[in-house]
Amino acid sequence: MQLDLVESLAALRPELPPAPGPPAPGTPPTPAELGRPVSGLVRLPEPRRSRSEGCYTAAEMQQLVDKAAILLEALPYIRRFHGETFVIKYGGHAMVDPALRDSFARDLVLMKYVGLNPVVVHGGGPQIDQTLKELGVVSERLEGLRVTDDRTMKVVEMVLGGQVNQEIVSLIGNHGGRAVGLTGRDDAFLRATKVAEMRTKSGKLVDPGRVGAIRHVNPDVVTRLVESGFIPVIAPVAVDAEGRSLNVNADTVAGKVAEALKARKLVLMTDIEGVKDERGEVLSSLSSAEIEALKAREVIQGGMIPKVQCALDALAGGVTKAHVIDGRTKHAVLLEIFTDRGIGTEITR
């Protein structure tokens, strides 16, 4: 059922025509070239039906009727979330696999078409590591923790605010959406203070360099973009009181942005199926109290602890629900928000 739902929802997405070659001098613009933005999306010309294909057969008609039923099944969710803001932390394998990257961008455009307002906050750790290696910049590590010195910070800004951010913006545009890339430097909307110390795996406290903790989010620039029909794409780089850039954890940025925007949902894309119980089975729904109990029993541990804490902080800050989902699953966001059972873990107050 979930796969059928995705395929049916995908039918709502317009397919962009192939990019044309340069027109001959004096050639008038085509209807597609005259297409104008509509609610942040590009209005495309509607093709005429092909008479050579004939009408649908009875079997084909039944398939279409079944698809319409699936779309109607999603209608309550579309109606419930119309006009609501969803902040999505985009990271992990979904940012590396070409097919997943493409489907994620298309799904964002679909969400915008049906009246939702997606806001993306992305990571980019592997891309930073690769660029540092290519440039021959040696980034100091203390027991696995990267120290962000001035040279490393320049690369972080270049990769997160430039390469990765613009790739996502371009992918959204390729599928008919309108997106704008941002970092916390833009309108200084992400304010942070430098983290004095961080604890390594062995428990040792070290100075992580230019790493920040968010202290304030001014959502005005993001809100205006959303209201103008754009999909904001945010790189997790903030500024301190002196205007110096700081590298900030992307999960944390997503949570704080969700709070500031009074988002309906915070969705954290990971490389794990969701929050699991003692038997390793994914828990479909957890309350804040149940999360604390699992932490106390050390069922939730390791890298999942900061993610669920980010979710709990967002809920405490006014976000209605948080979700931890597996970004390795194609159309993971759609499956989580448009189906009864979802595919990951929802976290409620």
Residue-wise pLDDT tens digits, 273-287: 999 999 999 999 999
CA gap 338, 347 in Å, rounded: 16
pLDDT of residue 16: 45
Lowest mean pLDDT among 39-48, 196-205, 230-239, 319-328: 39-48
Average pLDDT, integer, range 275-304: 93
pLDDT of 67 above 70: yes
Give the three-state DSSP class for 83: coil
Put residue 287 in one of left, alpha, beta given phi > 0 → left and psi -120 to 50 → alpha: beta
* The pLDDT of residue 55 is above 90: no
Reported confidence tier of residue 145, pLDDT bands at 50, 70, 90: low
- The pTM is what? 0.84
Task: Answer yes or no: is pLDDT of 25 > 50.
Answer: no
Give the residue extent of every domain in the chain: 1-10+56-81, 85-348
Q: What is the mean pLDDT of residues 120-145?
A: 84
Q: Looking at residue 10, what is its pLDDT? A: 61
Two tokens at 342? 């979802």
- Give DSSP secondary structure letters for 188-199: G-EEEEE---EE
In this model, does residue 193 exceed pLDDT 80? yes
Higher pLDDT, 25 or 166: 166
CA proximity to 184, closest of 152, 139, 232: 232
Longest dimension (CA), the chain: 73
- Say yes or no to pLDDT of 233 above 50: yes
* Cβ neighbours, 10 Å, residue 159: 21
- Dihedral pair phi/psi, residue 126, rounded to 5°: -60, -40
The rounded distance, in Å, linking the Cα atoms of 326 and 93 is: 9
pLDDT tier for residue 51 given thresholds of 50, 70 and 90: low
Q: Please compute the mean of the pLDDT values over residues 152-159 and round it to a whole number.
A: 94
Q: Which amino acid, 7?
A: E
End-to-end CA distance of the chain: 29
Query: Which residues pair with residue 231 across a beta bridge?
Result: 179
Residue 20 has pLDDT above 70, yes or no: no
182 vs 179: CA distance, rounded Å: 10
Residue 137 has pLDDT above 90, yes or no: no
Percent helix / strand / coil, the chain, rounded to 5: 40, 20, 35
Match 């959502």 to its residue by tokens: 219
Q: Which two tokens stand for residue 162?
A: 């430039």
Mean pLDDT taken over the chain = 87
Backbone CA torsion sign across 330, 336, 337, 342: positive
pLDDT band, very low/low/confident/very high, at 54 (cuts 50, 70, 90)? confident
Write the class of the CATH domain 85-348.
alpha beta
Average pLDDT over residues 318-336: 96
CA distance linking residue 117 with residue 129, whole number of Å: 32
